[in-house]
Structures are given as structure tokens and as C-alpha cells.
Amino acid sequence: MKKLWEGAQLAGSKRKLIDENGIRLDGRKWNELRPIKLQVGVMKNADGSAYIEWGKNKIMAAVYGPKEVHPKHQVLPDRALLRCRYHMAPFSVDERKNPAPSRREIEISKVIREALVPAVVVEDYPRTAIEVWVEVLQSDGGSRVAGITAASLALADAGINMRDLVVGCSCGLIGEQVVSDLDDTEDKEGNGDMPVAIMPNLGQVGLLQVDGVYTRENFQKAFELAIEKGKEIYLMQREALTRRFFGGEAQTTEVEEGAE
Amino acid sequence: MPMIQRRQVIPGDVVAKGNYRFGSYIERHGDEYVALRVGIAEILRDEIKLSPLTGPYLPRTDDEVIGKVVDVNGFGWVVDINSCFDGFLPASFVFGRDFSPATHDLSSKFKVGDIIGTRIESFERSRDPQLSIRGQGYGKIESGEIVKISPTKVPRIIGRRGAMINLINERTGCDIKVGQNGVVVVDGSPEGIVKAVKAIRLVEEETRAPDLISKVEEALGGSAVGGI
């Protein structure tokens, strides 16, 4: 019984999220990421899919389409309709989550869509729908950015024209300290959370949400850190895609014209 | 001989900088050419091309495709061509200019469920593709086994100047029709069909293998022409 209560606290009392040496609860330094594992092409039934493990997050992303739009009145005559659904499985959190879409999930679906559209060449698929499903199997903070990261890989896997991959990373505040990649506890007990999604080659930002109170310097620092960390994760995305399609690192070769 | 550079690219990669002619799946941003798909980019002297490794079938004018009739109305047939756009085969293309819904019975030509080989007559962004069966070799496909493959792998099934398809045909005695839309119809003896389908699946899985044709040859075995 004793073990079960270890680390438990009374409501209202705050544990220290970061110690004197600058080490966080899970042993990371302020600017470190949780371990990330990416896999592309994990589902046969979807046109494209990807799976991500990011810390304790486990998220599946699937893409269907382009396909006919139903209901018909939603058809866009000049481009594709990109639909996104972010959903958390009832078993993804400690206490059963009602499977019906919550206010929060509807919002996250919206921001994921808005982070992905600028990268997708929607004009190439007029009058069609492209559906993106992000299913959180286990949740641990930062699941929207993890979902975006996986969803853009699933889109690339589905062979939908994209100008760039989209990669997300969150940063935040613990006290007055800027930290990267908040986990669930830090998100809930910390002082601020800032998820950011970028298109690294285009140099554009597709998502920026902020909560908490930041000084001007801290805002700048957190934003820049999120971009820097996002670029690190982009390299993992590249690796996952090339592993799937080229069985290793992408290569450049020179051959004579006319030779096979 | 001039050299070609071949690069394995993913969406967002800059294929080349400078001034080139460029085809599908590439976008120009300033003087940079950006890949839109996972694929292999070929950089020639003044031109860059990208052959994607994955993706859906999008109709292009003059593509030969195999489709399934899903609806018949007064003016023609709606054909599923394995794409997000349904093809439409107008009755006037089949019965000629003097076609009238009162005198001609469309169902006598093609019924719902029929498999037909057609050509894409025209396709623009604003309307569904129009099909035609004018010319040799088009029309209803009476028998055979349908195999669907990824449309990006069609060139592999055909092989260099038809080498792969000829090999499978020779070794199994099967007649093989390949649509640009990734629909393949294999017809022949039951044993031949089984072997041919296996070979097609092998080509699909091992697209990357360096010496694919001898791999397929090995899998098909040295059996005599005519199957078994």
C-alpha cells in the first residue's frame, strides 16, 4: 500500500517541477526532448498512415483520400476539402474519457487542420475531400504537436502533394524558466504552454498557441526554442520517411543518360 | 553522354536550383524547385522530373485505363476508374453521332458491373474525366482476374519496352492488360493466372530491387510457354 501513495500530495501543495541543478522530474534538462519514435505506413486499410511515440504519447494518424465529398454541398470547386479529426481514445488517460468529441478535441481538430492546409497543395485536388484522422491511444502532454507531426507523415505516405512536411513542438514555462517539450505534469502544474508547428523548409509557422503569462524575453526564447526543437524532430521525420521508401538514407546517384 | 543526377526526395526537399523545365510533382519557389512527393527526382541538363513512389491515380488525357461501369443513364455510362473522379463515357462516343436515347438501348452495350478498357478523352479541373472507346483494343473485357496495384508502380509492371509484361505473358501464357490507373486484368488458364498474379504482387512489393526482372524470372520458374 505504501508504494501506491509514493509521491502523492495534498491538493494545493505544489511539487518542484525543476530542481536546484535544473533537472526536471523525468530527469531532463530544460532544453531536452522526450524520446521520439516514428513509423510510416503502419496501416494497410488507410491510403497513408503514421505512428508516433513521443514520451508516453502514443498516437496513430491515418489519411484517406482524395475522395468524393459527402455531403455534396460542402464541395469546393477549386480545391480539396481537408478534414481533420483529433480524438482521444477512452483509455488514453487515467480516468475514462467520454468518447464523444469534447470542446477541447473540436478545437484541436481545427488547429491541426489549419497547421496542415498551408503545406498541402489543395488546389491539385479540386472537388475532393482529404481526411486526416489523429487518434490518441495514450496521452501525455503535447499530443496536438505530436499529432501534427504524425499527420504530415501520413499525408506524405498517402502521396498527396505537399510543399513541405509540418512538424510541431511545444515549449513552456516552469516558474520563470523556459523549458522545451512539456509532459503532462509540467503542462498541468507549470506556468505556461506554447505549442508551435512549423514548415521547416518554407520557414513558416502553422500553429502558435500560448497560455500563461510571459515576459517579452521569455516569449521570444520559448518561441525560438520551439522552432529549434521542431527542426530536430524534422530530421527524425525525414529519417522515418526515407526508411519507409528508400530503406535507409536518401541518396543521390549519377548515371549516364539512357542507362537504366 | 551527359550525366543525369538521380535524387531520392521527400516533400519539401529542394531538388535543384537555377533554371529548368519541370513536370508534375514539382513546384517552383523563386529559383528553387521543391519536390511535392516522396519519389525519385531526375535532374537532366535543362529539365527536372519526379517519379513519385506513392500516391493516388489522377486522370490524364490519353491515359489508357480499365474501369467498372457503376451507373447507366440516358446519355452514357458512369465508370469507376479507381480515382477520386468518376469517368463518364458518353453514349454518342459509342453509338455515333446519330445516337438518341429513344432509339438506342445503352444497357445492350454495357451493363452496370461490366469491366471496360477505355481511354481518357479529356480531363479538366472543373469537370469529371470523359472517356472514349474509339480505337483498337478498347471496350468490354469479358473474362479474367482483376488485380489492383498502386498506380505509381504501373511502369514497373510493364517494364522497359514491355519487358516485364512480356516475360510474365511468355511464362504463364496469360494475357495481361494494364491500365494506367493501376487496374490489371489477367486472363488465361487458372494455373497461369495464379502464377501471373503472384509475379505481379512480387513486382509490386520489390519495386526497389535492383535486378527485378531476373527475380521475377526466378519466381516464375523455367516452365514451358502455355503455363503450368
Which triple of cell numbers denotes residue A170? Answer: 511545444
| Contact present, B149 and B157 (Cβ < 8 Å) | yes
Q: What is residue B42's three-state secondary structure?
A: strand
A4-29 mean pLDDT: 78
- What's the pLDDT score for residue A7? 60
- What's the pLDDT score for residue B214? 87
Q: pLDDT digits over A56-76, tens only?
A: 999 999 999 899 999 999 999
* CA dist., res. A65 & res. A161, Å (int): 12
* CA dist., res. B55 & res. B150, Å (int): 8
Q: pLDDT digits over A134-165, tens only?
A: 999 999 999 999 999 999 999 999 999 999 99
Strand partners, A162: A120
Residue B228: pLDDT band with limits 50, 70, 90: very low
Instruction: Give the domains, in start order, of chain A with CATH numbers.
Output: 35-243 (3.30.230.70)
Q: What is residue A22's three-state secondary structure?
A: coil
Closest partner residue to A257 (CB to CB) among B1, B25, B37 is: B1
Amino acid at A12: G
Q: Do A255 and B37 touch (CB under 8 A)?
A: no
Nearest CA in chain A to B83: A67
* CA dist., res. B6 & res. A255, Å (int): 7
- Residues of chain A numbered 179-238 and touching chain B (CB < 8 Å): 199-202, 238
Query: In sequence order, which residues have a C-beta less than 8 Å from that of residue B107 and are 6 or more positions away?
Result: B72
- Residues of chain A numbered 7-46 and touching chain B (CB < 8 Å): none
Interchain contact B226–A (C-beta under 8 A): no
Measured between alpha carbons, how far apart are the two ends of chain A, in Å? 69
Number of C-beta neighbours around residue A61 at 10 A: 31
Instruction: Give the domains, in start order, of chain B with CATH numbers.
Output: 5-52 (2.40.50.100), 64-140 (2.40.50.140), 145-220 (3.30.1370.10)
Q: Do B3 and A200 touch (CB under 8 A)?
A: no
Nearest CA in chain B to A258: B1
Q: Which residues of A touch B210 (CB under 8 A)?
A: none
Nearest CA in chain B to A250: B8
Closest CA to B54 of A247, A48, A131: A48
**Best residue of A123, A245, A254, A256 to probe chain B, by most B CBs closer than 10 Å:** A245
| Contact present, B173 and B144 (Cβ < 8 Å) | no
Chain B nearest C-alpha distance from A79 (Å)? 9
Distance of CA A49 to the CA centre of its chain: 14
A225 burial class (0-12, 13-18, 19+ CB within 10 angstroms)?
buried
DSSP single-letter state for residue A202: T
Whole-Å CA distances, B222 to A49, B172, B196, B226: 39, 10, 14, 12
* CA dist., res. B10 & res. A161, Å (int): 10
Interchain contact B56–A (C-beta under 8 A): yes
Closest CA to A68 of A136, A150, A126, A118: A126
Residue B226 has pLDDT above 60, yes or no: no
Q: Which residues of B touch A260 (CB under 8 A)?
A: 160
Q: Do A160 and B52 touch (CB under 8 A)?
A: no
Residue A260: pLDDT band with limits 50, 70, 90: very low
Q: pLDDT digits over B158-192, tens only?
A: 998 999 999 999 999 999 999 999 999 999 999 99
- What's the pLDDT score for residue B218? 87
Q: Record the pTM.
A: 0.91
Interchain contact B38–A (C-beta under 8 A): yes
Number of C-beta neighbours around residue B74 at 10 A: 9
**Best residue of A40, A155, A166, A257 to probe chain B, by most B CBs closer than 10 Å:** A257
**Backbone φ/ψ region at A26: left (φ over 0), alpha (ψ -120 to 50), beta:** alpha
Which value does ipTM take for this structure? 0.89
- What's the pLDDT score for residue B104? 86
Interchain contact A65–B (C-beta under 8 A): yes
Hey, what's the torsion of the CAs at A236, A238, A239, A243, to 10 degrees? Answer: 140
